Structure 1
């Protein structure tokens, strides 16, 4: 093992208690990007992250204002002739609703056993921080990382990165990099590391149904006025066929077929139906027939109802016909499906379903294209070697059902190949109450990131020669 790597690993091991304490401070900040009430908290989190980057020795750190949430950028470019690695992560988090479903408060990070509980601990503050601590381990021992570094940390990933993408387009030349590494995906288990080579895209819609000009007494008007909440539920119920297929005409027309060889590969390497049901905490499956649960969540598109509001939500009952009702609809897309085209198809279908007794509006909240990565890039080789050294075993290649909007932008705008190195676990409860980070995995993740930075120049130069 290279002496510089050995010293970095020793530093990281000795500093691990301090790293966990810092991570708790990071998680403590409620950087919820979807809620404007937390805008000041998101800015505070960006400032905290920038201070930590300066503290570890990154020479140029900027907090870049956007129309909404800041971008945190840092670089170290002191190794001419060596590759440049762009590290992407996001410091914004999902809302913590419902707060009373948490065993401990979501923004009071708590260690229980081997896990750190708190919103954003796994998605994505912990994995992001693993890369930052790997950098610190080199800067505090060797004085320099083994490659040139750009850090790009997003405050809007959970809402589709609407301001990061145009910023990338304006600065594409200044951000030139040999590869980007992103840790916002899952492993199969604590001892089963995984690299993701395909992501679903996403389309977020808000469907609003309006009826009377004001809330009405249901005793005075029930049976005479079409209830907007009822009308909304009737529309939503017709977005799927009884067998689980999406009922929007044309929805599946452009779905790229997956051949039997890859389906066989996925069956061997991916989670079983029983494992997915166990991770979800349910007894029976649901969804499109003819596919395993792993296939349904990766190579097939899906439409889900993510939220429903309207009428009285407090304790007890209230005899009311609400003036309006709203649903949040999330659509996951697979290669060759276009978010714009799917949006038009869904809007057209909803317009056909809408009764004349109410008014219906559909708004687009976010969109991202699906991506399929070239996993023969030498960066994948560097990551595989790093995983083997950090976790003691080679990673498996997986498709993911999730979406990372920036991946398509990095590849299409910057022409930068992306490597997706997952460190989250299936039971980390991302986007749910009691989200957690497995601390032993966090420690191995830092070691893996150290090995990855050291291996990148070796793998890239070997492939250039051969």
Structure 2
């Protein structure tokens, strides 16, 4: 039976579930998130002194205190702190039924994170990254949607299941604090926790996005990512531009030439074949269905600037299908930072000694991250123009550069039916399928460690929610409905 024709035979009664979840968000979750947003618990990549500042520890401690205050039957919680590593919050909920001796109990693993991206500029005058504000049903501030809400929503969904006396398997929760830095501590914790994770049969990841706020969206793929600093040096110190220009090659021009090896500047197409993969037919078909549902909102929801003629800046294509595939299955390059260039007010007539760009190379889901980072380093550094000093230093630990993407396994019929039924019950529309352009390193790690596990990857990052940028918000009504949907899926687990 296809999900589109699934009967609405969900195990939890909506008449009881919906008020329970609404009350949880109104009285418990939203106040906790208001406090959470006010704490600048930036990820280690953006706060090298995170241990001394204690802000990551604080949000973990606050979340742990909140979970323990709920006194969920059968739930135990620990805060794990391996030496020099970011902390992890780990909880476990006993199954409602025992399994035969010698049998392996199925386990649902729920994932989220509490570390945050930095402030960024451009926030609305009445908003700020660390000043939470509720406006028109949206909770503004850094980290609420990406994805501090996850631990609170997950525990509330479990509470809702228990409130109706529904059966459920063993559940564990894994909430990390290094995700926005590439989850470089996570593999160490996964290895340490492996004996306690059990036989993971379903992963519920709440750190993803939504195509709109009108239905439940399942993430079908995630891109990988390589970040690092590309630096071109031509002098040991700056010289008068009138004296040196025309003789000394511009570091910026050399950098442009080096980037031309990687990207066609006219189209944005990434040139090396090693950074591309074949797009599965199923994902192309799903992109076509999503494009039909979303239409021009695929691109119109972005905060476009006005162009030269007063109209809006245009996207790279007018075909919604191509745009969806571009942001999910094709490699793209972004420049996210710059060094060696003074601000305009301080820009004297000086030929600068170096230019450095922070690169973010998004990779298709099937391209291995570290291997791509090694190839990128070779491509950029070899045979430098004018024999300039060109270096590319990937972020992350040596031998573990880059993050691999993820392509979801084929859905089990029970999970597809349950999610579609939950979407119809709580949103009044069928389940949507969409790839995401971001990266969640955990998903690839878990699929390797638990190849038989099913994956429910979803989240609240819908149109204009703007994670990582200014005016990030959490759509409160959508978050409520998503929480109810997660509860239904937990209770529907075979």
Range 63-72 or range 399-408, more displaced: 63-72
Q: Unaligned 5+ residue runs, structure 1?
A: 461-466
How far apart, in 2, do the equivalents of 1:150 and 1:297 lie? 32
State the shift of 1:72 in Å. Answer: 1.1
Correspondence for 2:127 among 104, 116, 141: 104
* Residue in 2 that maps onto 1:464: none
* Residue in 2 that maps onto 1:205: 228
How far apart, in 2, do the equivalents of 1:3 and 1:392 lie? 16
* Residue in 1 that maps onto 2:80: 64
2:428 aligned with 1:392, yes or no? yes
CA contact (8 A) 1:29 1:41 kept: yes
How far apart, in 1, do the equivalents of 2:439 and 2:210 lie? 15
How far apart, in 2, do the equivalents of 1:221 and 1:240 lie? 29
* Cα pair distance change 1:6/1:402, threshold 3 Å: same
2:40 aligned with 1:30, yes or no? yes
Aligned residue for 1:387, secondary structure, equals: helix
2:462 aligned with 1:445, yes or no? no
Q: Unaligned 5+ residue runs, structure 2?
A: 1-9, 100-104, 305-312, 396-400
Count of aligned pairs: 454
* Residue in 1 that maps onto 2:148: 125
Correspondence for 1:368 among 369, 384, 403: 403
State the shift of 1:188 in Å. Answer: 2.0
* Residue in 2 that maps onto 1:463: none
CA contact (8 A) 1:99 1:106 kept: no
CA contact (8 A) 1:369 1:405 kept: yes
CA contact (8 A) 2:12 2:164 kept: no
How far apart, in 2, do the equivalents of 1:102 and 1:364 lie? 36
CA contact (8 A) 2:77 2:92 kept: yes
* Cα pair distance change 1:184/1:194, threshold 3 Å: same
Q: What TM-score, normalized to structure 2? A: 0.82
State the shift of 1:380 in Å. Answer: 3.6
* Residue in 2 that maps onto 1:269: 290
* Cα pair distance change 1:257/1:115, threshold 3 Å: closer
How far apart, in 1, do the equivalents of 2:208 and 2:436 lie? 8
State the shift of 1:301 in Å. Answer: 2.0
Range 323-332 or range 404-413, more displaced: 323-332
Aligned residue for 1:255, secondary structure, equals: coil
* Residue in 1 that maps onto 2:138: 115
Structure 1 residues 426-458: Cα deviation after superposition (integer angstroms, max 9, x where no partner): 2211121001111111221222222222222xx
Aligned residue for 2:78, secondary structure, equals: strand
State the shift of 1:163 in Å. Answer: 0.8
How far apart, in 1, do the equivalents of 2:106 and 2:486 lie? 16
Correspondence for 2:23 among 14, 17, 36: 14
Aligned residue for 1:123, secondary structure, equals: helix
State the shift of 1:325 in Å. Answer: 2.8
Alignment RMSD: 3.0
Aligned residue for 2:314, secondary structure, equals: coil
* Residue in 2 that maps onto 1:333: 363
How far apart, in 2, do the equivalents of 1:262 and 1:152 lie? 29
2:323 aligned with 1:293, yes or no? yes
Range 416-425 or range 103-112, more displaced: 416-425
State the shift of 1:405 in Å. Answer: 0.7
State the shift of 1:164 in Å. Answer: 0.5
How far apart, in 1, do the equivalents of 2:466 and 2:201 lie? 33
2:58 aligned with 1:44, yes or no? yes
CA contact (8 A) 2:111 2:150 kept: no
CA contact (8 A) 1:9 1:450 kept: no
* Residue in 2 that maps onto 1:156: 178
